[in-house]
Amino acid sequence: MAIAYKHEASVEHGALIEVAPNVRRIVARNASPFTYHGTGTYVLGRGKVAVIDPGPLDQAHVDALLRGLGEEQITHVLITHTHNDHSPATRLLKERCDAPTYGFGAHGEGRYGGGAEIEEGADREFKPDIKVNDGELIACWGFDVECVYTPGHALNHMCFALPEQKILFSGDHVMGWSTTVVSPPDGDMGDYLKSLARLLDRDDAKLLPTHGTAIDDPKGFVQSLIEHRKGREQQVLAELKQGPSTIASMVPRMYKDVPSWLHPAAERSVYAHVLHMLERGVLHCDGEPLLSTTYRLAL
């Protein structure tokens, strides 16, 4: 099943623009191959507002956000996960307002501290003032925000929902313009697939990701992402049916239609698949399962 990507032709950087009733977005000037047009910082409510993902450490972005808000007051700052394009601007915002920050936890909390960095890298400084867990409701000014824990892209990834409007702020868990980077050890393919399946059980009408435009058919889109990953796993199986192999030799064949400068990122993703398949006993390897290890099918 092909993924019906949602493209956004252009954005007006630095402008706070309504994207749904009581939801505004301002996009930072950090466009890149991993961030699309840049980080979309969302503002929820009017007058006393909640902000999701203040963005990269960019004073101009924070200034533009505050200019856009004028006399309005930020009462809550919500963080989807601790990557450098999402959480660092919280530190700049803290100098200008005293709103508490909410998030699942510090980077890698509960598991690993490290891992290769192929996208924007980890923000190891951020610690939420208030830790939130799956299913919690954060009472904001005139509306509640529901926390939906969705590890996979990052161990501490949290989506946030406006239940009445059936809107889910999907962070980097589900994006319309691209598949999500799942890079071990902080990224975990088993977690990611479970977190995708969770969205199929919800009745969100719209996903608003950090990068790119709205997804108005959440279930169909999420289903296509799941199928895409199943297809990748089938490709790994087909490769290893030919005999034991390394990730580095499988990737150029598996990602023929992807430019070679993206192959290092693809290797991290295949590594995530391989670890998930090892966990389930589908594959074997001798010694430690590293990126460079030779893998083979289990008998």
- Judged by the rule CB under 5 A, the positions of this chain that interact with Zn ion are 83, 172
- Least distance to Zn ion, CB of residue 89, Å: 14
Residues 266, 214 contacting (CB under 8 angstroms):
no
In this complex, which beta carbon is closest to Zn ion, that of residue 172 or of residue 267? 172
State the residue for tokens 């501290």.
113
In this complex, which beta carbon is closest to Zn ion, that of residue 83 or of residue 276? 83
Please tell me whether residue 67 adopts helix, strand or coil conformation. Answer: helix
In this complex, which beta carbon is closest to Zn ion, that of residue 118 or of residue 275? 118
- Least distance to Zn ion, CB of residue 81, Å: 6
Neighbouring residues of 192: CB distance < 8 A, sequence distance ≥ 6: 151, 152, 153, 173, 180, 182, 229, 272
Please tell me whether residue 92 adopts helix, strand or coil conformation. Answer: helix
In this complex, which beta carbon is closest to Zn ion, that of residue 25 or of residue 83? 83
- Least distance to Zn ion, CB of residue 153, Å: 6
Neighbouring residues of 273: CB distance < 8 A, sequence distance ≥ 6: 189, 229, 232, 233, 236
In this complex, which beta carbon is closest to Zn ion, that of residue 83 or of residue 268? 83
- Least distance to Zn ion, CB of residue 172, Å: 4
H-helix or E-strand containing 277? helix 263-279
Return the amino acid letter for 261. W
Residues 228, 3 contacting (CB under 8 angstroms):
yes
- Least distance to Zn ion, CB of residue 128, Å: 16
In this complex, which beta carbon is closest to Zn ion, that of residue 172 or of residue 188? 172
Cα 58–chain centre separation: 20
DSSP codes of every residue in 180-231: PP--TTTS-HHHHHHHHHHHHTS--SEEEESSS--BS-HHHHHHHHHHHHHH
Neighbouring residues of 139: CB distance < 8 A, sequence distance ≥ 6: none
Q: Which residue is nearest to Zn ion (CB)?
A: 83
- Least distance to Zn ion, CB of residue 206, Å: 21
In this complex, which beta carbon is closest to Zn ion, that of residue 210 or of residue 213? 210
State the residue for tokens 């969205």.
199
- Least distance to Zn ion, CB of residue 119, Å: 6
